[in-house]
A and B are shown apart, each in its own frame.
Chain A
Amino acid sequence: MNKLALSDEILLSIEKPARYIGNEVNSVRKDLSEIDVRFAMCFPDVYEIGMSHLGIQILYDMFNRREDVWCERVYSPWVDLDRIMRERNIPLFALESQDPIKEFDFLGITIQYEMCYTNILQILELSQVPIFAKDRSESDPIVIGGGPCTYNPEPLAEFFDLFYIGEGETVYFELLDAYKENKKNGGSRRDFLEKAAHIPGIYVPSFYDVEYDADGMIVKFAPNNANAPEKIKKEIVMDITDTYYPKKPVVPFIKATQDRVVLEIQRGCIRGCRFCQAGMVYRPTRERNLEMLKEYAYDMLKNTGHEEISLSSLSSSDYSQLEKLVSFLIDEFRSKGVNISLPSLRIDAFSLDVMSKVQDVKRSSLTFAPEAGSQRLRDVINKGLTEENILEGAGQAFEGGWNRVKLYFMLGLPTETQEDMEGIAVLSDKIARRYYEIPKEQRNGKVQITASTSFFVPKPFTPFQWSRMNTREEFLGKARIVNAAMKEQLNRKSLKYNWHEADLTVLEGVLARGDRRVGAVIYDAYRRGSLYDSWSEFFDNRKWMAAFEATGVSIDFYNTRERSLDEILPWDFIDTGVTKEFLKQEWQKAVGESVTPNCRMSCSGCGAAIFGGGVCFEN
């Protein structure tokens, strides 16, 4: 029987011991004597969140197909175990072997959102691996970061040995081979990093120096090592059908956030919303083959025993084979008690028909994401959804029996006026009015419309990367304007309005567009006890504010300043395929309220065609 890293006494005195014992269905165990490279793959949040992440499941499966590699998983210990591990000096361990992370060759950390940055430091510290890369010795694991936040890795630069920029399926094996080769030749840690720097997509932060001027602006960003390239080009899988995808994903014992089979149908998005980082950095849009998806749906359901399957993509309605895929899933699996979940669908006749087949209309709600309250502002952000589309979709849905609507908006978008904010309330009311146009006897009771706003954070590699961001006070003032406007609407009793809290957004802004100097704030906040910042019950803004104060880093410098177009941005050394020229054009078109057609309507020359495939070459 498996040994465990934690004693019975500890496991029986903490919440959900199942988070730490491994042994899940489809988890992989190997004989250490046959292994050359041990890789610990980490999602720096609690188990139930981390286990829901598709990217790790893909890489876990891919790595473990190699006989000489054993990839294991590790997640952030919850606060109860965190305390015990610190008190008793227990090193953090991987789930499969229960061996300490510090004995591994690699610690790979996926960085999915900014508010997990303090958890990354927790992982390093509990693993007893030095927090700063410069302090690591030959025996410490190589710490490598990946995931969306690495499109601006700079705030984390001092904590990582390497970053992998782009999609993991392409050069990881090359990196592992280089590691093995270096180990065999008795090479040092530095030797390996120098070899790694030659691999496309691999960024070694310590091989670059940054210089700032008196105003704090970057004046120079350049390699200090002959092995490091000037620019790092993102890695991307062009054929996403014939590539790695797990047929046997790991099935947790406890209910994870994503307790279902996840079928990724495409990567990228044709839409080009100007606020959306994913829509820019994952270009070009690439579709998976329908027959492959059918085969995987069948095998993954069989191998996991899950009772639900969900399609995953940035905009499922744009998948060209959607109707065929959905009909297949319904015909094949609905009778076997399998639920089918279809997020990110545009509301139209097709999706309403599908939804009425796969879910209980009375219990489900419709979701629209207009993102902005007026057509003017929707043009600014290039969100192709019109008021007409929304009212038409909602009208059809209401006639089909639905009576609950969720609306998602952002506040603080560039060029926003009071009228745009009030437009959120006006649009919500119009949807309610549309509902009450249905004769009373045909209606399904009252309508319930819930509008939610989040605050806009400008992200790297979007046309809005130069934009100023609102302050906390501006954000909250805007939420009050929307709230007041909601109360003036005819159908105010059917409208509900929620807004996010602003403190977290302000921080997210600094971390998203920060440079290397922001690393000091993260470290200081962590030392003050910041952890699980994405969990409202643990987020403590005072600790962060104290950290800014202590390190002398200015929030305004990163957030509320409008950047000039010729400024050197911290992430300029990364090449995503989409050119800076295109982003500038898009920023200027945004201010001019001019829309850009989606990739299928016509090519706007963003630069992603350089990858030689996907939607760029459909015709």
Chain B
Amino acid sequence: MKIRIKFEKTGVMKFIGHLDIMRYFQKAMRRAEIDIAYSEGFSPHQVMSFAAPLGVGLTSEGEYLDIEVGMCLSSADAINRLNAVMVDGMKVLTFKKLPDDSGNAMSIVAAADYRVMFREGSSLIPDVELEAKLAEFYNRNEIVILKKTKKSEKEVDIKPMVYSLSAKDGVISMQLATGSVNNLKPELLMEAFAAYLGKELGEFAIMVHRVDVYADLGDENNRELVSLGDLGEDIA
């Protein structure tokens, strides 16, 4: 049976990188005695896939991983068991059964919501002006950044990858293209905003929090974003 787990990663856990979070969950499954499926071969490993790796330094309340299990537990039981073996800053939010034909978490990721705040002393602009300036920045026809690769630099318009952008009380909310097709990092957008203000974004100026991750069930012309957490159903 395919299962999708939604979890949050907050506090000091933001310093743990993606590969170590994978190792963390492999061990957590064993501690919680979840009947997880193993691959074949001499050194079997757990069948587990993560939606969208979260960079070091970022927190999130909408992370996903898919596993495969044998014996059926109720969602509530599984959540309790897993949370009994979590560390501070890691919490399992949902445990849902997926349709058998559903794509794995990694392959369907299309967008993500983020909340961005300036660290104390690092803000680019007073909070009261932020909302208006950000709207001005976002309302332009294009947002061009200089993309540097090893060999060359080229101008890219990132606006098509920004699905929403707004600010309130000093907190910036954004929805960005995420995944293997198009991927935009919040830092990059904030750098473009800083450049627009004629400033430079300091290396540790912002704190980024991921709110949720989405799949796109629409077609080429119309996006229809659905939270990864809404694709399965609770097990009674």
A residues neighboring B (CB under 8 Å): 1-2, 4, 8-9, 11-13, 17-18, 21-25, 251, 253-255, 301-307, 337, 339, 360
B8 to chain A, nearest CB (A): 12
A501 to chain B, nearest CB (A): 33
Whether B57 sits at the interface, judged by CB under 8 Å, is: yes
Per DSSP, chain A at the interface is loop
Asked whether A360 lies within 8 Å of B42 as measured between CB atoms, the reply is yes
Asked whether A2 lies within 8 Å of B31 as measured between CB atoms, the reply is no
Asked whether A339 lies within 8 Å of B88 as measured between CB atoms, the reply is no
B63 to chain A, nearest CB (A): 16
Assembled-state Cα–Cα distance A24/B87 (Å):
7
Assembled-state Cα–Cα distance A18/B26 (Å):
18
With A1-B88, A2-B88 as contacts: A251 and B27 at CB distance below 8 Å: yes
Chain B interface size band reads: 20 to 34
Q: Cβ of A23: which chain B residues have Cβ within 8 Å of it?
A: 11-13, 87-89
Mind listing 26 A-B residue pairs with CB under 8 Å? A1-B11, A1-B12, A2-B12, A2-B88, A4-B12, A8-B207, A11-B15, A17-B15, A18-B17, A18-B20, A21-B15, A24-B87, A25-B27, A25-B87, A253-B24, A254-B16, A255-B20, A302-B31, A304-B27, A305-B26, A305-B29, A305-B30, A305-B85, A306-B30, A307-B30, A337-B45
Q: Cβ of B24: which chain A residues have Cβ within 8 Å of it?
A: 253
From A21, A255, A337, contact of B12 by CB (8 A): A21
Contact with A along B39-56 (1 / 0, CB 8 A): 000111110000000001
Q: Cβ of A303: which chain B residues have Cβ within 8 Å of it?
A: 31
From B29, B89, B204, contact of A12 by CB (8 A): B204
Asked whether B27 lies within 8 Å of A307 as measured between CB atoms, the reply is yes
Q: Cβ of A25: which chain B residues have Cβ within 8 Å of it?
A: 27, 31, 85, 87
Assembled-state Cα–Cα distance A13/B204 (Å):
9
Residue of B23, B44, B45 contacting most chain A CB atoms (<10 Å) = B23
B residues neighboring A (CB under 8 Å): 10-13, 15-17, 20, 23-24, 26-31, 33, 38, 42-46, 56-57, 85, 87-89, 119, 203-204, 207
Q: Cβ of B56: which chain A residues have Cβ within 8 Å of it?
A: 12, 17
Assembled-state Cα–Cα distance A11/B85 (Å):
26
Asked whether A1 lies within 8 Å of B30 as measured between CB atoms, the reply is no
A37 to chain B, nearest CB (A): 25
Q: Which residue of B lies closest to A362 (CB)?
A: B42
Asked whether B11 lies within 8 Å of A2 as measured between CB atoms, the reply is yes
Q: Which 10 A-B pairs have the closest CB atoms?
A: A305-B27, A305-B30, A17-B15, A305-B31, A1-B11, A9-B204, A21-B12, A360-B42, A337-B44, A253-B20
Q: Which residue of B lies closest to A360 (CB)?
A: B42
A32 to chain B, nearest CB (A): 17
Q: Cβ of A302: which chain B residues have Cβ within 8 Å of it?
A: 30-31, 33
Q: Cβ of B89: which chain A residues have Cβ within 8 Å of it?
A: 1, 23
Q: Cβ of A337: which chain B residues have Cβ within 8 Å of it?
A: 38, 44-46
A336 to chain B, nearest CB (A): 8
Assembled-state Cα–Cα distance A304/B85 (Å):
9
From A1, A11, A13, A253, contact of B10 by CB (8 A): A1
B98 to chain A, nearest CB (A): 23
Asked whether B204 lies within 8 Å of A307 as measured between CB atoms, the reply is no
Assembled-state Cα–Cα distance A337/B40 (Å):
10
Q: Which residue of A lies closest to B207 (CB)?
A: A8
Q: Which residue of A lies closest to B88 (CB)?
A: A23
A281 to chain B, nearest CB (A): 35
Residue of B12, B16, B204 contacting most chain A CB atoms (<10 Å) = B12
Assembled-state Cα–Cα distance A12/B59 (Å):
13
From B15, B30, B38, B43, contact of A301 by CB (8 A): B30
Asked whether B57 lies within 8 Å of A12 as measured between CB atoms, the reply is yes
With A17-B56, A23-B12, A304-B31 as contacts: A8 and B87 at CB distance below 8 Å: no
Q: Which residue of B lies closest to A10 (CB)?
A: B204
Asked whether A255 lies within 8 Å of B23 as measured between CB atoms, the reply is yes
Assembled-state Cα–Cα distance A426/B42 (Å):
36
Q: Cβ of A339: which chain B residues have Cβ within 8 Å of it?
A: 43
Q: Cβ of A17: which chain B residues have Cβ within 8 Å of it?
A: 15, 56
B14 to chain A, nearest CB (A): 8
Q: Cβ of B42: which chain A residues have Cβ within 8 Å of it?
A: 360
With A1-B89, A9-B204, A305-B31 as contacts: A254 and B10 at CB distance below 8 Å: no
Q: Which residue of A lies closest to B16 (CB)?
A: A253
Assembled-state Cα–Cα distance A12/B29 (Å):
29
